Chain A
Amino acid sequence: MKSIRLFLLLALLATITLVNFVALLHGYQSSMEKAQSLFDSRLESTARLIAAANSENAVQQTIAEQQTPYTYFQIWDSGGKQLLTRSRNAPELMPGELSEGFHEINHASYRWRNFIYRDQHLNRWIVVAERSDVRYSLAEEVVLESLLPIVLAIPVAALIIWLAVGVGLKPLRQFADQVRHKRVDDLSPITLEHVPHELTSVVSNTNALLGRLEDAFQREQRFASDAAHELRTPISVLKVHLHNLRKRLGDEDEDISLLKTGIERMGHLIEQILALYRSSPDQASVQFEHVDLTKLAQQVIADEFMTIEQKQQHISLEGETAMIEGNRFALETLLHNLLSNAHKYSPSGSDIRVSVAQKAHRVELTVEDSGPGIPASEYERVFERFYRLQGDRHDSGELGCGLGLTIVKHIADLHQADIQLGTSSIGQGLSVKIIFQQEEPH
């Protein structure tokens, strides 16, 4: 069933049409029989009228004032041997047997229905006849006038059913619209003007589900916040102890160096996991605002500049004001991750290029590096959590946990943006292009 409205329209219309038309045919047959019976009564009355009006019981001239060609009359003597008088279009012979009542006869290439009346008073026979096809046509004409409105009513019924079903399905449509247009962060209950009985349980169960989902998100948020605090604090303490240890034992100690790398890796991993959680498209608490992407990129480049400078890398930014609807914190994280990746995998003294391009109804953010790049066959997999190119054999020597591009993907999904990976225009490095649509994200 493709559409409830279409199904109801067709099913109801087919039912009405079938029932109405079968009843119409039955009514037609009954009406035709009734009309024939009325015509018979009229024929009988005409015969009696002619008998009363014509009291001459002798041979007379043919009556020429006959107006209607589809009726005639004859007056025969008592034995039916001699025709006393007749209308002009009547046959001169006795049509069929002379017995009182209704008969069907053939005359002048037509079928006729006659009534033979025995005039007891003057002892003679009166024959009155009408053409059957004319009687039938007259009866049908009268009956059809009453049937026509029933046939014409079907399109009207179709229109009324279509509108009525549309009104009846309005709450369902409102419900579907609200569900369809809900923002990812909107877990507020669905409200309908009038909730019909059939939808009560659907609406209440959906709202209960949304409520439970919101509770679960809040619990998760509280847990993440608590975990972040509880994990950051001991790492900060560890860093202080490491600093004191280095002062006491010196930087040359290999164990101290390994410990430093391990603590930095752990701290980076925790920050990335928290960023991954905060940027999840399912995250209910994300608020959107107007963000100038070029200005934000400038700010993030300034934040990262010292790190980039350490490898004598050259970073450039191209672009003018480009406004999008987005979450500032998430977009900052996205830019930090992209720049961090570009910095890590580009050799010392190489170039990193950031550009923000305003296109028709979209803004394209591109970050290009001079690193080794990624084979096209790996483009899909690099967005998987904890996936690192070449797995454990990763030989970049850079601090990483395989979450950077996953976070970028989450943030892009959150903004309903597309990601395109490709080869950088500077060398063989990686180009990451994020395409933001300039419409209000739902």
Chain B
Amino acid sequence: MLLNAVIIILREVLEAALIVSVFLALSQLLNRKLWWMLIAMVMGFAGAYVYAINLSQISMALEGTGQEVLNASLHSLIFICLLIFMISVPHQARPGWRRLNLFTIVLAVIIAIVREGSEIILYIKGFYGIPELLHPVLIGGAVGAGIGLSVGVFFYYLLVNMHKRSGIWLGYLMLLLVGGSMIAQAVEFMIQADYISASAPLWDSSHLVSERSAIGQLLYALLGYEATPAPQQAAAYFGSIALLVIAACVSFFFRSKSS
């Protein structure tokens, strides 16, 4: 029970911690006010709680596919935030773009915490009333959260203590991978809800790195690693990363042209 709890909580916390730490580091490197992040985190936790307590109504919506569709929408929204963030960074000298840039950071952090936080609340809530299971789940949850948050702290300090330019580029790279992972997960939810037809996995690398191992969880959070991805997931993953790269390049091109 403890190991299951560690893996499930670690997966959720690690993903949210990476998004928050990368945005926190980029905010600092791009001279943004950090207290916005605190507000975003508080709003994220509140949103996660609201999501968790309304899950039964959400699940029943859209002929029983409400939860999958909402999760896919939340992941897609995070991707859109990342896309706007990438486009707006080169123009942040202008106040309007700067506000838009800050807004996308705050929104992405809120959604990431709502999404991952609600999963954690639902998982732990499932064991209320079963003390013999709740005890190991809580300990496992604490261990998973502790490992996930520690990795987030290391990533944050790694980015802010690097040379500023390198820190920003590494932060961008991580956001590209997070963006790809978000769209791949959105596609996975749409396959689960039968909006996209399922296909045979493109490959099976579970014998190399199992998704349930600690390395698998870290790779999942960092790169969106899937041991058995559907062809649609792989296409969405690489396509979304390419879209982010193209959008960022075009935006940089227009900035250098206008300056």
Contacts and interface: CB of A to CB of B under 8 A. Distances in A.
Interface in B196-237: 214
B147 A17 contact: yes
A25 interface: yes
A419 interface: no
Given A24-B143, A144-B2, 10 more contacts: A7-B157, A11-B154, A11-B157, A14-B150, A18-B146, A18-B147, A18-B154, A21-B147, A137-B132, A147-B2
A148 interface: yes
A25 B3 contact: yes
Contacts of B3: 25, 28-29
Contact of A144 (B6, B139, B153): B139
A18 B136 CA distance: 19
B149 A14 contact: yes
B135 interface: yes
B161 interface: yes
Interface string A309-323: 000000000000000
B34 to A, nearest CB: 8
Given A1-B160, A17-B147, A151 B139 contact: yes
A70 to B, nearest CB: 14
Contact of B143 (A21, A29, A140): A21
Interface of B: 1-3, 6, 132, 135-136, 139, 142-143, 146-147, 149-151, 153-154, 157, 160-161, 214
B143 A151 contact: yes
A154 B160 CA distance: 25
A137 B154 CA distance: 35
A209 interface: no
B8 to A, nearest CB: 14
Nearest to A143: B2
A151 B2 CA distance: 13
Contacts of B151: 14, 18
A17 B150 contact: yes
B136 A151 contact: no
A399 interface: no
A21 B139 contact: no
A137 B2 CA distance: 10
A224 to B, nearest CB: 44
A15 B135 CA distance: 25
Contacts of B139: 144, 147-148, 151
A47 B151 CA distance: 49
B157 A140 contact: no
Chain B interface helix/strand/loop/mixed:
helix
A22 interface: yes
A10 B1 contact: no
A144 to B, nearest CB: 6
A117 B4 CA distance: 34
Chain A CB within 10 Å, residue with most, of B1, B132, B150, B154: B150
Top-10 shortest CB links A-B: A14-B150, A14-B153, A18-B150, A17-B146, A17-B150, A21-B143, A151-B142, A10-B153, A21-B146, A21-B147
21 contacts: A11-B153, A11-B154, A13-B153, A14-B151, A15-B150, A18-B150, A18-B151, A21-B147, A21-B150, A22-B147, A22-B214, A25-B3, A25-B143, A25-B214, A29-B3, A140-B1, A140-B2, A141-B132, A144-B135, A144-B139, A151-B146
A141 B132 CA distance: 8
Interface in A76-129: none
A256 B139 CA distance: 101
Contacts of A13: 150, 153
A25 B153 contact: no
B105 to A, nearest CB: 18
A409 B135 CA distance: 70
Contact of B149 (A11, A17, A25): A17
A137 B130 CA distance: 13
A31 B214 CA distance: 19
A242 B149 CA distance: 87
Contacts of B2: 28, 140, 144, 147
B27 to A, nearest CB: 12
B222 to A, nearest CB: 16
Contacts of B136: 140, 144
A22 B213 CA distance: 12
Contacts of A147: 2, 139
A263 B214 CA distance: 90
Contacts of B6: 25
A35 to B, nearest CB: 13
Contacts of B153: 10-11, 13-14
Contacts of A151: 139, 142-143, 146
Chain B CB within 10 Å, residue with most, of A10, A21, A22, A137: A21
A426 B161 CA distance: 61
Interface in A23-47: 24-25, 28-29
Interface in A125-155: 137, 140-141, 144, 147-148, 151, 154
A344 to B, nearest CB: 47
A24 B155 CA distance: 22
A25 B25 CA distance: 30
A154 B214 CA distance: 21
A13 B214 CA distance: 20
